[in-house]
Structure 1
């Protein structure tokens, strides 16, 4: 995944220290209710599409942009599926990041799925009963995107007490 310029600038000042960042992911469905997946260039695994919003960019706009940049598919967000702080990640270069992922269910409205940048090796539409091997991150989001209901979030641990 290519690193946005604003993060490279921050890294010049903070080095490899933990950086807390927003992230977006998109579970995109077509008219046949197949899900759009990309096989990532960094680790070779299949996943839903995602990325990092630019400064000032709204999460829905970032999801639409990331889907188009990576797959050439145009989509519209339908609802927020999940908001979750992920475990910290250390990249091979030593950078440490922790993401708050905002996952959106989206509907494809145009374009032909294809590799559209250097972040993916393959992209394609998959029926829910014929998904390739996926990590729990993607499986959870797909499951929640297919269910009706409220946005998922980690429940608060405890309400603050008065003083």
Structure 2
């Protein structure tokens, strides 16, 4: 899926200015402890599953929806793993966005992993000790999802 209609509507009046957008990441585990990954069509690299919420949509439901849309796997968001304001990005068309990511640990509850939209080239389950090359973004989220620790968040020291 490309740019959602509601973002296109905002861009019609906001132009390329920086937009702060809610994002979610879903780290999905099956009963065998494997993690679900997709190989992204935009970069060709393996990654955890993620996306942005629709207006009024709860973040946990966004995570569950994104997983299904991209992988045909049904899951349930179990807990918030981390929250993080990501560095701003600028797209080739000049649009600038900064995403605030909420990462959820999710449990697979049905479906068969397969490419389910145009955002992925491949979809597969991986043992956590046999992951394909991943970005630090994905690795950190998987690592945090494997702990029982409190929700991770960054804190900027007072100036």
TM-score, normalisation: structure 2:
0.97
How far apart in 2 are the matches of 1:14 and 1:65? 27
Q: How many residues align?
A: 159
Return the offset for 1:156: 4.2
Q: Secondary structure at the match of 2:134?
A: coil
- Quick check: 1:89 aligned with 2:80? no
- Quick check: 1:136 aligned with 2:144? no
Return the offset for 1:15: 1.3
Unaligned runs of 5+ in 2: none
Return the offset for 1:16: 1.1
- Alpha-carbon displacement from aligned partner over 1:65-107 (angstroms, at most 9, x marks no partner): 0000000000001110000000001112211100000000000
How far apart in 1 are the matches of 2:44 and 2:90? 18
- 1:25 alignment counterpart: 25
Computed over aligned residues only, the root mean square deviation of the Cα atoms, in angstroms, reads: 1.0
Return the offset for 1:158: 2.2
Q: Secondary structure at the match of 2:145?
A: helix
Unaligned runs of 5+ in 1: none
How far apart in 2 are the matches of 1:105 and 1:112? 19
Q: Secondary structure at the match of 2:105?
A: strand
How far apart in 1 are the matches of 2:13 and 2:27? 34
Runs of 4+ in structure 1 deviating by more than 2 angstroms, as ranges, are: none
